[in-house]
């Protein structure tokens, strides 16, 4: 006994799919407050009765407005896999709304349009059922003209969360039912459909325009080009400015028929596969891309147009040039904005059957001809809706749905309907229906092989294998940005830029999907409702925090993919890495700094640089060593010369920094006659007070402290945790007991003017450990600490620790008074950085509070490390405190909770400030990698278990102003 929501019919009563158009005809938005009734199971009776209604915001999801709850799964279906059946517990929302038909509403009919309803619905107008639809992220239109009456009208919509369509909608995201996009009543369209074909000939600089229109008696006007043409007529334009993501030139056009005018914006561009590469307007593209889900922490996928614009502005500001609409067609307004602001778009169909992986892909709809109509309907509705967007250059058939015959049906229809775009599908390993070879999270060595077309044979059929080998490669997803990460962006970029076959990639993913439920202050993710089947925090894997704060990963990406590369100092060279645009829109500013303080600045004269070219420019400062100066750095920045729609003049697009030869650091003055003999059980020297028996530092320049003590542990990041098992360094680290180290002091002795504390640090229950010595020496007005670490025992090869080849960190931890809430430093900044995610850190002077020092990841984990710190001052509000110097550098972390607190916390609200500021002074930390879904940190960025020594110097800091500013400027 199947019902309409379980059959394999895409919908009933729906109008033929057509383009999304801006029309002059009257329309009435039905967004707003609707009456609402929630049913845990689908009711059998039609919507009826005026009683018992609550209220709900439309567009919206009822699970975010107090009814039922949202569910997050990654791949698992949250119901039994028994296609096409839905469970009895099929949450259903009845929606109802009265509206007044305006007096002047035309009498020639009307269309009711839904931009997106998740996942299946039935609709009534004035009590008469007019149809049903599936396909959550696609529009559906119904004729309603004859049912409307003057004055008040009633529309009722029953929405079921689960339907046969749900089997095609297993994207890695929250399951969010409801009418989540606009509902509009349209006067009957007179211009039914428009299909713009606008090509650009890069050889002649001319364009070709043909606009197919239903009805055929329409007129098409392009005033700017002085054109008037008939539907289907092809005209050549001798000279036209092309559209590209870099220069998104649009021409306004009007299509008129029967008194209706429809506005379309034309972008002239030609997409072609040439010599195994994707080209637009004759040039191969390179995607600096991101995968974007629609997400708003309070509104779910009911994102506002302002939010869409914000997303795109942020993408442009962070040097992204492409977006894959993972994994469904976005709200149509989003694509309009892509046309306007300039982004290459892979528009992806609303198809993912990922959960069929559990029955080993048995029953996968993608390979079942009975499902072909449901799938083709989705492809058609996407292509028809979005076909006029110049930004859309590639249609994606689906995500993660294995292989299947139905993709052949989709591809065939699409190629016929729209030969002007390329097709993409990653997961069918034959790539038969794709114009691209593509993988996800590919390790670097394999990427290299693909770049050189020397990858392994992967398809049995030699013809398909040869075809695949001839295809360009695009990384559909890479650099999983879960929690703290991704690491390794530079490594990816280097390989992708080296080989023409690699046409770039799309980072996974744009934004964390943390949700804020009504009244809550902390973001939820899978498992927060005690549910059994969930995807935990795998949806908290974006380049932005849920509130759209760019995470350090996004800042790193911005730097790594910058479209202009500046190298130097000799020769100082500007490389234009763009495909079409010159650098005329940029100003190049330079600044010379000594010890982080500006000593000279200016503007570079940069001659015109064509896309793909480079120019050398003269160095504005002396490059010879200046022995009278301290640490000298030159920074060159490329900034917008004038306002752009996505950023104001002065916005920084690219930068580089290089050291200039400077004087070697002065040899520190050693302390002379300090007494190291204990008095009253204490040793007091060099500003430190030690407990003579334990060798513990008790006070530093009068400030009570705990530590410093060796620390090898960090609160594992999502990428440390990996996917458990083999690819998890955190599993290795825990097996080696790094999360439960015990400290023992063996001797406290005076040797050669040093107070030496020797001991061992090791986990209980295991034989491995490290020998450690802390050597303290008075140094002028400071106290110097040298730590020697020697691993001993079986770090690799024992039964319990088959392999612990790395440490999370190597450094010391200390606790300072809570009043030390300010941090100033000279080193990498302003944000956090790690060995394999440090491109965005530039050498300079920075200051912030300890609270601002944190990166508030939704799931607390190690964060906030500043890299290459030369010195740091931790002070109280009056500027009094402690200064620490590296030899030459250290990595700094400061927080109001311990690493263990951070490790235990599951949400931000689990972290409460303690009575101390905890400071980690590290020689190094392990890289981040992206093993939560992808490769771990490379060997180069691994902190290997090995014998090591590092030195730190502590000084009193009196807030007496800026003692470190160099007194002599050149």
Please, which residue, 365 or 686, has the CB nearer to ligand IPT? 365
CB 362 within 8 A of CB 391: no
Please, which residue, 292 or 696, has the CB nearer to ligand IPT? 292
Distance CA 103, CA 150 (A): 7
Which has the closest alpha carbon to 82: 434, 358, 305, 344?
Answer: 358
Q: Hey, CA dihedral for 52, 56, 62, 67, is it positive or negative?
A: negative
CB 655 within 8 A of CB 842: yes
Please, which residue, 269 or 293, has the CB nearer to ligand IPT? 293
Report in angstroms how near the CB of residue 21 gets to ligand IPT at its nearest. Answer: 31
Other Cβ atoms within 10 Å of 33 Cβ, number: 10
Pairing status of strand 564-567 against strand 572-576: antiparallel
Please, which residue, 452 or 723, has the CB nearer to ligand IPT? 723
Among 200, 506, 508, 957, interactor with ligand IPT by CB under 6 A = 508
Please, which residue, 350 or 384, has the CB nearer to ligand IPT? 350
Q: Is 579 helix (H, G, I), strand (E, B) or coil?
A: coil
14 DSSP 8-state letter: B
Number of H helices, E strands in the chain: 11, 57
Pairing status of strand 392-396 against strand 422-424: parallel
Report in angstroms how near the CB of residue 360 gets to ligand IPT at its nearest. Answer: 15
Which has the closest alpha carbon to 320: 559, 649, 565, 585?
Answer: 559
Report in angstroms how near the CB of residue 799 gets to ligand IPT at its nearest. Answer: 32
Residue 400 is a binding residue for ligand IPT (CB under 6 A): yes
Please, which residue, 326 or 869, has the CB nearer to ligand IPT? 326
Among 77, 167, 523, 538, interactor with ligand IPT by CB under 6 A = 538
Among 73, 166, 321, 399, interactor with ligand IPT by CB under 6 A = 399
| Sheet strand arrangement including 277-280 | 271-274, 277-280, 283-284
Distance CA 215, CA 591 (A): 62
CB 111 within 8 A of CB 20: no
Binders of ligand IPT among residues 40 to 79 (CB under 6 A) are: 74
Binders of ligand IPT among residues 132 to 191 (CB under 6 A) are: 172
Report in angstroms how near the CB of residue 546 gets to ligand IPT at its nearest. Answer: 15
Distance CA 869, CA 925 (A): 13
Residue showing the smallest CB distance to ligand IPT in the complex: 172
Q: Is 903 helix (H, G, I), strand (E, B) or coil?
A: helix
Distance CA 234, CA 216 (A): 14
Distance CA 934, CA 401 (A): 19
- Judging by beta carbons within 10 Å of its beta carbon (0-12, 13-18, 19+), is residue 840 exposed, middle or buried? buried
Report in angstroms how near the CB of residue 542 gets to ligand IPT at its nearest. Answer: 10
Q: Angle of helix 372-386 relative to helix 405-417, nearest 10 degrees?
A: 30
Upstream peptide bond of 84 is cis (omega within 30 degrees of 0): yes
The residue assigned the tokens 């392990």 is 926
Please, which residue, 385 or 402, has the CB nearer to ligand IPT? 402
Please, which residue, 193 or 541, has the CB nearer to ligand IPT? 541
Token digits of residue 508: 């996974």
Token digits of residue 676: 């190291």
Pairing status of strand 322-324 against strand 344-348: parallel
| Residues counted in the chain | 970
Task: Provide the Cα torsion 749, 754, 759, 760; round to 10°.
Answer: -160
Please, which residue, 94 or 426, has the CB nearer to ligand IPT? 426
Report in angstroms how near the CB of residue 721 gets to ligand IPT at its nearest. Answer: 14
Report in angstroms how near the CB of residue 399 gets to ligand IPT at its nearest. Answer: 5
Please, which residue, 538 or 918, has the CB nearer to ligand IPT? 538
Report in angstroms how near the CB of residue 88 gets to ligand IPT at its nearest. Answer: 29
Q: What are phi and psi of 406, to 5 degrees?
A: -60, -25
Q: What are phi and psi of 354, to 5 degrees?
A: -50, -40
Report in angstroms how near the CB of residue 26 gets to ligand IPT at its nearest. Answer: 40
Distances (CA, A) of 102 to 151, 377, 610: 7, 34, 56
Report in angstroms how near the CB of residue 387 gets to ligand IPT at its nearest. Answer: 25
Report in angstroms how near the CB of residue 327 gets to ligand IPT at its nearest. Answer: 6
Contacts of 691 (CB under 8 A, 6+ apart): 681, 682, 698
Considering just the CA atoms, what is the radius of gyration of the chain in Å? 32
Token digits of residue 114: 């839904």
The residue assigned the tokens 């057509």 is 18
Binders of ligand IPT among residues 408 to 467 (CB under 6 A) are: 440-441
Please, which residue, 74 or 484, has the CB nearer to ligand IPT? 74
Token digits of residue 47: 């919507």
The residue assigned the tokens 């119904």 is 142
The residue assigned the tokens 């119901």 is 79
Residues with a known catalytic role: 400, 477
Among 384, 477, 556, 862, interactor with ligand IPT by CB under 6 A = 477
Report in angstroms how near the CB of residue 538 gets to ligand IPT at its nearest. Answer: 6
Please, which residue, 428 or 739, has the CB nearer to ligand IPT? 428
Please, which residue, 169 or 477, has the CB nearer to ligand IPT? 477
Distance CA 881, CA 26 (A): 69
Binders of ligand IPT among residues 745 to 784 (CB under 6 A) are: none
The residue assigned the tokens 């760019």 is 550
Report in angstroms how near the CB of residue 930 gets to ligand IPT at its nearest. Answer: 10
Count, residues near ligand IPT per rule CB under 6 A: 13
Which helix (H) or strand (E) segment holds residue 556: the answer is helix 552-560
HSE value, Cβ hemisphere, 13 Å, CA-based, for 655: 24
First to last CA, the chain: 87
Binders of ligand IPT among residues 288 to 347 (CB under 6 A) are: 327
Which parts of this chain interact with ligand IPT (CB under 6 A)?
A: 74, 172, 327, 399-400, 440-441, 477, 480, 508, 538, 541, 933
């Amino acid at each position: 006994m199947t019902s309409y929501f379980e059959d394999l019919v895409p919908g009933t009563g729906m109008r033929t799919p057509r383009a999304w158009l801006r029309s002059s005809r009257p329309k009435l938005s039905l967004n707003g407050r609707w009456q609402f009734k929630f049913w845990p199971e689908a009711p059998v009776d039609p919507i009826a009765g005026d009683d018992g209604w609550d209220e709900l915001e439309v567009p919206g999801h009822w699970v975010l407005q107090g009814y039922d709850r949202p569910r997050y799964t990654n791949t698992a279906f949250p119901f039994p896999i028994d296609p096409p059946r839905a469970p009895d517990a099929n949450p259903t929302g009845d929606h109802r709304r009265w509206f007044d038909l305006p007096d002047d509403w035309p009498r020639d009919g009307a269309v009711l349009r839904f931009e997106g309803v998740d996942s299946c619905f039935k609709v009534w107008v004035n009590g008469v059922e007019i149809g049903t639809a599936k396909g959550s992220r696609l529009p559906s239109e119904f004729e309603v003209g004859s049912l409307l009456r003057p004055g008040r009208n009633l529309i009722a919509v029953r929405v079921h969360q689960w339907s046969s369509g749900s089997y095609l909608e297993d994207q890695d995201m929250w399951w969010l039912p409801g009418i989540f996009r606009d509902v509009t009543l349209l006067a009957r369209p007179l211009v039914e459909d428009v299909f713009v074909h606008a090509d650009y000939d890069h050889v002649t600089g001319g364009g070709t325009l043909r606009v197919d229109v239903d009805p055929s008696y329409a007129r098409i006007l392009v005033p700017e080009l002085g054109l008037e043409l008939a539907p289907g007529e092809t005209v050549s334009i001798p000279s036209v400015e092309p559209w590209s993501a870099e220069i998104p030139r649009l021409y306004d056009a009007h299509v008129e028929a029967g008194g209706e005018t429809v506005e379309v914006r034309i972008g002239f561009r030609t997409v072609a596969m040439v010599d195994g590469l994707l080209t637009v307007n004759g040039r191969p593209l390179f995607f600096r891309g991101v995968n974007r889900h629609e997400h708003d922490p309070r509104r779910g996928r009911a994102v506002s147009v302002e939010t869409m614009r914000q997303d795109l502005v942020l993408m442009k500001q962070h040097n992204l040039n492409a977006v894959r609409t993972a994994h469904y067609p976005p709200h149509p307004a989003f694509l309009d904005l892509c046309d306007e602001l300039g982004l290459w778009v892979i528009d992806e169909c609303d198809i993912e059957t990922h959960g069929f992986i559990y029955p080993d892909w048995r029953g996968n709809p993608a390979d079942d001809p009975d499902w072909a109509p449901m799938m083709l309907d989705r492809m058609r509705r996407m292509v028809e809706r979005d076909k006029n967007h110049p930004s859309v250059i590639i249609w994606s058939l689906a995500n993660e749905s294995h292989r299947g015959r139905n993709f052949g049906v989709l591809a065939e229809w699409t190629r016929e309907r729209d030969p002007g775009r390329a097709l993409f599908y990653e997961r069918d390993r034959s790539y038969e229906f794709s114009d691209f070879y593509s993988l996800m999270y590919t390790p670097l060595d394999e990427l290299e092989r693909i770049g050189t077309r020397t990858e392994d044979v992967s398809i049995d059929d030699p013809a398909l294998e040869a075809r695949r080998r001839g295809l360009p490669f695009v990384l559909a997803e890479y650099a999983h940005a879960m929690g703290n990460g991704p690491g390794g962006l530079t490594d990816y970029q280097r390989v992708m830029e080296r080989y023409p076959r690699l046409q770039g990639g799309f980072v996974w993913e744009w934004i964390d999907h943390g949700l804020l439920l009504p009244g809550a202050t902390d973001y939820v993710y899978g498992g927060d409702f005690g549910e059994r089947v969930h995807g935990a925090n795998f949806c908290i894997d974006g380049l932005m925090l849920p509130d759209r704060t760019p995470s350090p990963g996004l800042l790193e990406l911005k730097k790594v993919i910058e479209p202009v590369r500046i190298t130097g100092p000799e020769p100082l060279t500007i490389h234009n890495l763009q495909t079409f645009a010159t650098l005329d829109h940029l100003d190049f500013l330079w600044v010379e700094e000594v010890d982080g303080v500006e000593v000279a600045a200016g503007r570079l004269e940069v001659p015109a640089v064509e896309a793909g070219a480079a120019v050398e420019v003269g160095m504005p400062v002396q490059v010879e060593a200046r022995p009278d100066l301290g640490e000298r750095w030159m920074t060159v920045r490329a900034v917008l010369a004038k306002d752009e729609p996505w950023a104001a003049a002065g916005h920084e697009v690219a930068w580089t920094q290089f050291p200039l030869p400077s004087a070697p650091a002065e040899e520190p003055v050693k302390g002379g006659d300090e007494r190291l003999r204990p008095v009253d059980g204490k040793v007091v020297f060099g500003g430190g007070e030690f407990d003579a028996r334990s060798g513990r530092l008790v006070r530093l320049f009068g400030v009570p402290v705990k530590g410093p003590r060796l620390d090898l542990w960090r609160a594992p990041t999502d990428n440390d945790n990996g996917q458990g098992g083999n690819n998890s360094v955190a599993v290795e680290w825990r097996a080696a007991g790094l999360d439960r180290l015990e400290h023992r002091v063996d001797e406290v002795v005076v040797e050669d003017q040093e107070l030496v504390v020797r001991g061992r640090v090791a986990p209980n229950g295991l034989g491995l450990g490290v020998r450690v010595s802390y050597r303290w020496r008075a140094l002028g007005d400071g106290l110097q600490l040298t730590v020697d670490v020697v691993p001993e025992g079986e770090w690799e090869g024992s039964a319990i620790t088959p392999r612990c080849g790395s440490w999370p960190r190597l450094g010391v931890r200390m606790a300072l008074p809570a009043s030390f809430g300010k941090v100033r430093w000279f080193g990498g900044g302003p944000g956090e950085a790690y060995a394999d995610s440090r491109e965005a850190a530039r050498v300079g002077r920075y200051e912030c509070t300890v609270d601002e020092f944190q990166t508030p990841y939704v799931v607390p984990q190690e964060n906030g490390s500043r890299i290459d710190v030369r010195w740091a001052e931790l002070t109280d509000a009056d500027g009094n405190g402690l200064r620490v110097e590296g030899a030459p550098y250290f990595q700094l972390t400061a927080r109001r909770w311990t690493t263990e607190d951070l490790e235990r916390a599951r949400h931000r609200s689990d972290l409460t400030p303690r009575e101390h500021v905890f400071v980690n002074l590290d020689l190094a930390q392990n890289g981040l990698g992206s093993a939560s879904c992808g490769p771990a940190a490379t060997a180069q960025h691994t902190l290997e278990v090995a014998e090591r020594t590092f030195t730190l110097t502590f000084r009193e800091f009196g807030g007496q102003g800026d003692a470190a500013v160099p007194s002599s400027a050149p």
